[in-house]
Amino acid sequence: MKRTNRQGEYHVNNDGESLHIIKYNGVNNCTIEFEDGTIVKNIQYHNIVSGGVKNNNRKSVFSIGYIGYGKYKASIKSKHTKCYSIWRGMLQRCYYQYKEFNITYENVDVCDDWHNFQNFAKWFEENYIEGWQLDKDLLCTDYKIYSPITCCFIPQEINCLLKEQKETTGTVKVKNKYKSQIGVDKIHNHIGTFDSLEDANKAYKEEKKKCILNVAEQYKEQLNINVYNKLINYEV
């Protein structure tokens, strides 16, 4: 019985993308090309006609991120992987409505390479430490971008200390005095009460520096050497 040649057929998948079969070696071995030029091999014909074949290069995550082709999975047994959740959260902060509610992410971008989940996942695999948080500001303060050069993973305690500086000066006026306080482990610790704002700010900065150094030493063995050096030389 002569085999039907499906080469040249055009179809549309469930995401509304046009594709056509550029090579047909039977129902279990088709090569297709999407309208954006993405070529996928070893596709079953019934997946093509049912619309189930996906283009992993389609920018489906906040209109800029895409899964790409490689060994890294976005989900396992219908549950998002830790890597995917962190990657998606990063894109959300930069390219979704999050910016409207958090001005600290104004003009913050993700490097082009990390728009592809596969590239981010490879870096993640090489750098992630369980429970640590993604940071883009410590290693490079001049650029507001997520990239392999500017990013690192740091313990939550360090991340909170660095963020706390951005969100408060650490001093509050109480009647005719100025009170210094610092947030450590979500608890505001009283530093002292001073006659002038200058003295209160100075005490705050000294205590802040001491806290950062203590935490840096605590995690010294686990921290990347560049991260550790940045912390011990951190200017408050």
Q: What is the DSSP string of 104-167?
A: GGTT-EE-GGGGBHHHHHHHHHHH--TT-EEESSSS-SS--EESTTT-EEE-HHHHHHHHHHHH
Give pLDDT, residue 112.
Answer: 97
Phi/psi zone of residue 195: left (φ > 0), alpha (ψ -120 to 50 degrees), beta?
alpha
The gap from C-alpha 141 to its chain's centroid, in whole angstroms, comes to 17
Domain regions of the chain by residue span: 10-50, 57-130, 155-236
Place of tokens 């840096």: 216
Residue ranges of the chain with pLDDT lower than 70? 1-3, 97-104, 164-169, 184-188
**Residue with token string 């549309």:** 12
Taking the CA atoms of the chain, what radius of gyration do you get in angstroms? Answer: 25
How much is the pLDDT for 167?
44
How far, in Å, CA of 165 to CA of 168, rounded?
Answer: 6
Q: What is the reported pLDDT for 32?
A: 98
Q: For residue 40, what are its two tokens?
A: 């996928």
End-to-end Cα separation, the chain, in angstroms: 79
- Spatial separation of the C-alpha atoms in residues 152 and 161, rounded to whole Å: 16
